[in-house]
Amino acid sequence: MQRVMVIGQPGSGKSTLARRLGERTGLPVVHIDTIHWQPGWVERSREEKTRLCHEVEAGERWIFEGGHSTTWHNRLARADMLIWIDRPAPLRFWRVLLRTVLNRGRTRPDLPDNCPELLANLPAFFRFMWRTRISSRKAMKRLVAMAPSGCRVVCLRSNRDTEIFLTSMGTQPDQAASRS
């Protein structure tokens, strides 16, 4: 296991899983939000996001969590593991609310500097989550179905699934590779 793609909708636990998996395996972790956003909540252009995603995808070792679905197929072609975190919408909304409140005024580790959590951003983000809840899940389901035969697919639907998966991973990249 050298290249891991982690997908899921907002609030599913992608960033947390990627961090924990990175700690266990020693693989470098890339969060899509550090590509999507620049400091101060400035959004990058679509072209710039695509270029940066391709740079990461070309690497030999990574855990790449998040969207920018226009690059998913390239990422999947390079990944030897695809993890889909598929969690119910009410739980995801609750988690986004909770992380926003708990981190209010501070920048989370999966965001660029000077991108503090703001309660004022929640209504628009919740509208986005609501609008895309069905179409996004369908897109992820299609992506999972298209995974190449050499790519291990893992679907995590609960905290228990996640803990069992993490326990099954080694603590160094070589150990993780031998268990894939």
Q: State both tokens at 34.
A: 């550090």
Share of residues in the chain with pLDDT > 70 (%): 94
How confident is the model over 50-92, as pLDDT tens digits? Answer: 999 999 999 999 999 998 888 899 999 999 999 999 999 999 9
Which amino acid does the sequence have at 21? L
Is 108 a member of any domain? yes
Q: State both tokens at 140.
A: 């992820």
Is 117 a member of any domain? yes
On whether the CB atoms of residues 114 and 39 are closer than 8 A, the answer is: yes
Is 65 a member of any domain? yes
Is 50 a member of any domain? yes
Q: What is the rounded CA–CA span in Å between residue 109 and residue 112? A: 8
- pLDDT for 78 equals 95
Task: Name 155's bridge partners.
Answer: 84
Is 63 a member of any domain? yes
Is 180 a member of any domain? no
Stretch among 30-34, 96-100, 169-173 having the lowest mean pLDDT: 169-173
Report the 10 Å Cβ neighbour count for 47.
8
Is 71 a member of any domain? yes
pTM: 0.90
Task: Name 85's bridge partners.
Answer: 8, 156
Q: Give the number of domains in the chain.
A: 1
Q: State both tokens at 147.
A: 């995974």
Measure Cα distances from 159 to 28, 146, 155, 164, 177 in Å.
23, 25, 12, 9, 23
How confident is the model over 93-133, as pLDDT tens digits? Answer: 999 999 999 999 999 989 999 999 999 989 999 999 999 99
Q: Which domain holds residue 34?
A: 3-175
Q: What is the rounded CA–CA span in Å between residue 65 and residue 8? A: 9
| CATH number of the structural domain spanning residue 31 | 3.40.50.300
Q: Does the pLDDT value for residue 174 go beyond 50?
A: no
Computed over every residue of the chain, the mean pLDDT equals 91
Q: What is the mean pLDDT of residues 17-42?
A: 94
Q: Give the Cα-Cα-Cα angle 133, 78, 145 (nearest 5 degrees).
A: 45
Torsion from C-alpha of 70, 4, 145, 141, nearest 10 degrees: -70
60 backbone φψ class: left, alpha, beta (φ>0; ψ -120 to 50): alpha
Q: What is the rounded CA–CA span in Å between residue 179 and residue 104? A: 39
- pLDDT for 68 equals 80
- pLDDT for 60 equals 96
- Residue 99 parent element (H or E): helix 89-102
